[in-house]
Structure 1
Amino acid sequence: MKKIVLTGAAGRLGSYLREPLSKMCDTLLSTDINDVGETYEGETFVKADLAQMDEVAPLLEGADMVVHFGAIVDEMPFEVLWGPNFVGSYNIWEAASRHGVRRVVYASSIHAVGMYPKTERIGIDVPHRPDTFYGLAKCFTEDLGRMYWEKRGLESVHLRILSAAQVNNPRALGSWLSYDDLIQLVTRAIDTPVTGFAIIYGVSNNDRAPVDNSGAAFLGYRPKDNAEVYAEKVLAESEPLDPQDPGHMCHGGPFAKVDLGQSGLAQMNVVDDRKKT
């Protein structure tokens, strides 16, 4: 490919994607509202606000694909999320359509279906059941992607990431997505010849994974890592969980428990271990 655009390049997950994506194309154009520091060979960086179409549209000119990871990655009041998470998605899809981009690979989230109980193993075709305004933005973008595929032929793969962070709590024993598996997931979403509109869960090969990816097997994603290697230590250090607590019982974890507009990440112990250039 000649050009891939990566949004959210300064984020934690973006930091792990930049180098492998730079090796898949002649030019990787990375963008974020924050700087990324040193760039990789073949990578250029442009600072841009996703909520501003006049800043987004020029970036996608000549692009083959867009890997769209840019957003506020926490629950916030609806008005705060509106620009980057709702309008930003529209701007990406509309600009991609105008410039003839082939496919958008989108960082969706388990929070689009976060209110389902974890005792119910859900597939990729369950109806939306968001746990927050953040999850609602993921539902909106998944529907946006389906509409642009059906109306304009713009392919998209929506990666419902469960938890791409260090395994330091019981929920992560099922929800963990390792960084190596994240890279494989995004790579398969890019190099699969035909995808149309597709949804796939972003989760590693965990013994306790609570979701079913069989409906997206055509993407060729075969995760390698398993959070079970952390189980003994994590369970020994954890108190018994309350089965009446939606933060323990629902797929969305703490996001299923917090009030609308209140931070879900504040209830979690996410380590900022982003990769340094």
Structure 2
Amino acid sequence: MMKKLVLTGAAGRLGSYLREPLSKLCEELVSTDIVDDIGTLYQGERYEKADLAQMSEIAPVIAGADMVVHFGAIGDERPFEVLLGPNFIGAYNVWEAAYQHGVRRVVYASSIHAVGMHKKQDFIGIDAPHRPDTFYGLAKCFAEDLASMYWDKRGLEAVCLRILSAAQVNNPRALGSWLSYDDLIQLVTRAIDTPTTGFSVIYGVSNNDRAPVDNHLASYLGYRPKDNAEQFAEQVLAEAPPADPTDAAQMYHGGPFASVPLGESGVASMNIINDKKEV
């Protein structure tokens, strides 16, 4: 069992589902975010408020950690200047602090938006070249390349989880892109407990019949998703408007992020239900 694990973005929706399982993998889970507190803590968990964009705040939180699970960021498209601090500089601060303090591995919440301008019909693998759909996706490309460089030059391992859609299935795209919370937990756990990873990339997607990405080159991580969005297909397709093959949101991996103007919210049109876990 690890002595100390750090979770950034602990106040977010995905972070809310990770806190309890991560607390069972270590003697001490340090959860961090920019909110004042995150309410009731799990056994072995403590909370530290810290701004990712400030090295002086995040470095002391990371000191002494075995691994960092980095889920903290603005989770939507915004103007570049807004994303620069938390999403770009924040990623650098996490990796540099992790290196300085001898952390073994960073598990990073990357995104399909790093490759969002590839067509869904292309069935891309983890070796697909970066093709970001937004400034948000560009930040994910930056962090993945940062992770690769820190492995090559400094020996800091990283597993970059290109998450597709970790939200309730209420649209046709999600029939392929869904990542259930149970599979999310398995994915992060495998990224932590795989003995050696070097620099790795894997798609965060459930075992969907219609999954548009190929994870076979990452099979060594041991991630074997259990859930399948096909159970929702009949209702979702019955309620959806007619498909439009000229709509970038329907044709590209990035979904709505592929069609919005740079700097404008991609989440606004996605009807994401905030089913954050409450302790």
Tell me, yes or no, whether TM beats 0.5.
yes
Q: Tell me the alpha carbon deviations over residues 233-258 of structure 1, each in whole angstroms, 9 at most, x when there is no partner.
A: 00000111110110010000000000
| Equivalence for 2:67 | 65
Q: How does 1:1-277 map to 2 (within 5 A)?
A: 1-34=2-35, 35-277=37-279
SS at structure 2 position matched to 1:26 = strand
Q: Tell me the alpha carbon deviations over residues 46-65 of structure 1, each in whole angstroms, 9 at most, x when there is no partner.
A: 00100000001001111000
CA RMSD, 1 decimal: 0.4
SS at structure 2 position matched to 1:14 = helix
SS at structure 2 position matched to 1:144 = helix
- Counterpart AA for 2:235: K
Structure 2: distance between partners of 1:12 and 1:181: 15
SS at structure 2 position matched to 1:28 = strand
Cα deviation, residue 230, structure 1: 0.2
Misfit runs of 4+, over 2 Å: none
Q: Tell me the alpha carbon deviations over residues 126-145 of structure 1, each in whole angstroms, 9 at most, x when there is no partner.
A: 11000000000000000000
Structure 1: distance between partners of 2:243 and 2:113: 20
- Counterpart AA for 1:29: V
Structure 2: distance between partners of 1:136 and 1:60: 25
Cα deviation, residue 36, structure 1: 1.1
| TM norm structure 1 | 1.00
| TM norm structure 2 | 0.99
- Counterpart AA for 1:49: D
Structure 1: distance between partners of 2:39 and 2:53: 23
Cα deviation, residue 117, structure 1: 0.7
SS at structure 2 position matched to 1:198 = strand
- Counterpart AA for 1:6: L
Structure 1: distance between partners of 2:62 and 2:167: 29
Structure 1: distance between partners of 2:38 and 2:16: 8
Structure 1: distance between partners of 2:157 and 2:259: 34
Cα deviation, residue 67, structure 1: 0.1
Q: Tell me the alpha carbon deviations over residues 22-66 of structure 1, each in whole angstroms, 9 at most, x when there is no partner.
A: 000000000000121111000000001000000010011110000
Cα deviation, residue 115, structure 1: 0.4
Tell me, which stretches of 5 or more residues in structure 2 are unaligned?
none
Aligned residues: 277
Structure 2: distance between partners of 1:234 and 1:91: 41
